[in-house]
Every structure is written in C-alpha cells, then in structure tokens.
Structure 1
Amino acid sequence: MTGLRALALDFGGTLARPGPSTDGRTVAKALRELPGAVVPERFAETFDAVARRMRRADREGSRQTPFPRQLGQTADECHAILPDLVRAWEAVFTAVPDADIDLDAARTLRELHESGWVCVLACDTQRPEIVRRRTLQAAGILDCFEALVLSSVVGVRKPHPAFFAAVAEAAGCLPGEILFVGDTRAKDVVAPIEYGMRAVLVAADRPTNLDPSILVIRHLAELPSQLEALDDR
C-alpha cells in the first residue's frame, strides 16, 4: 500500500461482536464480592444516575471520565465504602464479560500483522487495559498489536483529536501512514480522515451521503483483498 504502514483497529463491531454494558445492578453485585466493600441497596440506582450524567458530559467534550471516578462519585452519593477504586474497577470488568472476538477477524488480523503491518488497537472503552489485554491474550492475538490505545487510559474518546494523536504516537507513524478501520462513520471514518489518516468503514451496507471515495467492507476479513483498491481512491 502506497504510503501506508499501520492499521488502527476499532474493537467492538470491527474485531469483536459488541459486548455487554455495565448497569448498576451488575456493578453492585461485583463490588459486593470485594473484601472491605460496603455496598448499600441504593448503590445500583445511584450508579445508573451518575453514569447518565457523566455520559452526557463526556459526549459533549469527547472526554472519557475514568471509571474509578464514576465509582467514587457513586460511593460518595450513596455512602458506600470502596477501599480501593482501581481494584474495584478491575473487579467489575472481570465480572462483566468482554466482547467475543470474531474468529475470522482474528485470523485476518494475524495475516495482516505477519505481512508487516504495524497494528494498533484504537477504541473507546470503560475497561482497564489489563482486562482488554486479557481478552486479546485469550483469543491468541495480543502479540499482533504494537500498542493498545484505549479511551479509558488516554482520557478522551473518539472523535477527539487527542485520541488520534495518541494512535499516531503509539504506531510510531505520521497520520498519513495510518489506515483507521472501524464500524462507526463519525468516529472511525470522518474523524480520522480529518486528522490526516486514511479510513475504511466496516458496515453491512454503504451509508447514505458517505463520500464515494471511502472504502466500505462488510467484515474485517475482506480487508486484505481490498487494500490495493485504496490506491485508486
């Protein structure tokens, strides 16, 4: 591929099937297993209310409120006791299953990695890096990634320019040398292109009003055979 050296891959909907989200009842149940934690009955409803407020604020600024801060705010409001917020964060996302990685997508990733592409995972998530690494390791593809760029770590979400700056730094490439692959038009195609990257959309059908020069594939497994087509776009 002319000028392209690295792939930045989204996770849910691209490499994996979307996984379950957290809700107050699930979080409360996980936290009650922690030594020293005191989790009152109203923790669940308080957590859900805090989460809604923080999601609204995060969307407005493309920020990522750290999940431990969300837990801490909930604990303050309902008088829960959580001795170690980072440990609580890991406990929640150990209890809540991560997304299932698509086997064909995993095979394609390995093929691309072994052919010389620098691969970076680039996704929005509340999960800590240790949990996402565990998921990738279980699927046998952790070694395919040069780095993981997670909104939970960098503190901003796509489409914030700082997220794409972190991707470029992790890949060790200029933006124009990176192909971003994801399933969300605004965050995985429009935003990286505005930052100077190339992009491919993973979608069952081409969305209306999408620039005809954008390559659309139905599944990540189609990417290797379509890469040469990018030279003509």
Structure 2
Amino acid sequence: MARTRVLALDFVGTLAGHGPAPHGRFVAGVLQGLPGAAIPADFPARFDAVTGRPGEPGRPRGVRTLFPVRLGRAAQDCGAVVPDLRLATEAVFAALPDAEVDPRAAAAVRELRASGLSLVLAANTDRPEPVRRGTLQDAGIAHCFDALVLSSTLGVRKPDRRFYAEVARVAGCPAGDILFVGDNARTDALGPRAYGMSAVLVRPGPRPEALPPDIATIPHIGELVRHLNQCGHESS
C-alpha cells in the first residue's frame, strides 16, 4: 500500500447516522421568527416541492443544489421575503439536530489521529460549518481534524473534482498521499480514485461488483486501523 499521510473522512454513513432533514413546515416556523421575514401559508409546500425537484439540465445525477439556493427558489416561487439566505440557513440548522457520531467511530478517529495521521473531514452536507464543528466537539473528536471540507461552505459537492482539489489543498500534500474513506462508492471511492487518491469503502454488506480491485472495503470505520496495519501502512 502506498504511504498515506492524510485521511479524508466522510461523515454521514461513515462516522455518524443520518440526521433529520428540514421539511417545509419546520423551515417556515424558523423563518417566521427572523426579523424582516414574511412567510406565506404556501411556503412549506413550495419548499418541499423544490427540495424534491429533479436536478437541473446539465447537473450531474445525484448532485443536490445547495440549501440556500433551494431556500431562495422556494421563497421566490411563493413570494416569501427572506432578507438574508445565509443567516436563514444558519438559523434553520441551528434549530435542527445534527446526526450523532457513533461512539465506536469516534474511538477509531482518536486512534487514527494518535497514529500520526492528519485527518480532514470531507462531507457533502447542508449544515453550516459551525453546526458540524459543534457535532464533532460534542463527540470529543473536533481536535482530531486539521480541516473541514464541507459542500455547504465550498459551494460544490462530491463527486465534483473541485471538492477533491480542496481536500488536497487543505491537506497540503499530493493526492496520492491521501486515503479517502466513506460509505458511498461513487462519491467516496470512485471520485477520489479518479482524482488520484486511494480509497477505502465503508460497507457492511456485499462488495459492489463494479468496484475496482484496488479499492478495499471494510464493514465499519472501526476496522480501519487494523486494515491499515494489515496493508503495511506507514504514517508520517
């Protein structure tokens, strides 16, 4: 196995389960408490419709529009007034619980950090960075990460190559020195591999038939330390 200097770790499905998603009625309730906002009765239905709307022509399949953009479109569709979409987004996710980090995953993160590896959180998410940092803090692992690369901050989502370029930039090393670990074959394994990173897929079920042989699978991130040791991993 090539020497790994940096681990890029996905969040949902890798370190944590799925947190609740904001639905129209919840979002409307939050927005109604913001200064200057005017939210008509049909906003919840319009928000839910925009959230479930298929991607625009030319947008890669499965790549979602960023939350502030969806919020703005819903507001425009029904004539709602939302003075500041960024502040509105922060308010929505401050009021909505994030996913909880799996204690076994948190223990693995601490062990990986103690081994000398640098860690980058690399996740597609609607949640603003302060919310996700708070979640990591609550799990006792915020100090383990050197950087967070979040689609909500960056403005692009995996598997966009610009996302992986940002991971390499904040990692401060060539892509070949980065091991990407996540649960989605397309965004956490094939995408990083195409960019020049190595990858490990966290998958408790059968191995996907189309997965290239150089991408290993493990059932839980708690198995990553043992996997790296078996592969002759050396940290910096």
Fold shared by both chains (TM-score > 0.5): yes
Aligned to 1:56: 55
- Secondary structure of the residue aligned to 1:210 is coil
Q: Percent identity?
A: 52
What's the counterpart of residue 128 of structure 2? 128
SS of 1:120 mapped into structure 2:
strand
Give the drift of 1:58.
8.7
One-letter amino acid of the structure 2 residue matched with residue 181 of structure 1: V
Aligned to 1:183: 183
Instruction: State the AA in 1 paired with 2:70.
Output: Q
Deviations 1:76-116 (A, max 9, x none): 22121222222210111112211111011011101111221
Task: Indicate the RMSD between aligned Cα atoms, in angstroms.
Answer: 2.0
Checking the alignment, whether the CA contact within 8 Å between 2:55 and 2:65 is kept in structure 1 is no
Farther off after superposition, 37-46 or 60-69: 60-69
Per-residue deviation, residues 157-188 of structure 1 (Å, max 9, x unmatched): 11111110000001111100000000001111
Q: Given the two structures, how large is their TM-score scaled by the length of structure 1?
A: 0.92
Q: 1:32 to 1:58 in 2, by over 3 A?
A: farther
Corresponding position of 2:222: 221
Structure 1 or 2: more helix by fraction: 1
Matched residues in 1 for 2:58 and 2:208: separation?
A: 23
TM-score (norm 2): 0.91
Distance in 1, Cα, partners of 2:13 & 2:181:
10
CA distance in 2 between partners of 1:87 and 1:64 (Å): 20
1:1-233 pair list within 5 angstroms: 2-53=2-53, 56-57=55-56, 60-61=59-60, 65-205=65-205, 206-231=207-232
Comparing 177-186 with 137-146, greater Cα deviation is found at: 137-146
Which contiguous aligned blocks of 4+ residues in structure 1 show a shift greater than 4 angstroms? none
Paired AA for residue 223 in structure 2 = E
User: How far apart in 1 are the matches of 2:100 and 2:88?
Assistant: 23
How far 1:20 moved relative to its partner? 1.5
- 174-183 vs 212-221, greater mean Cα deviation: 212-221
SS in 2 for 1:8: strand
**CA shift at 1:64, angstroms?**
5.7
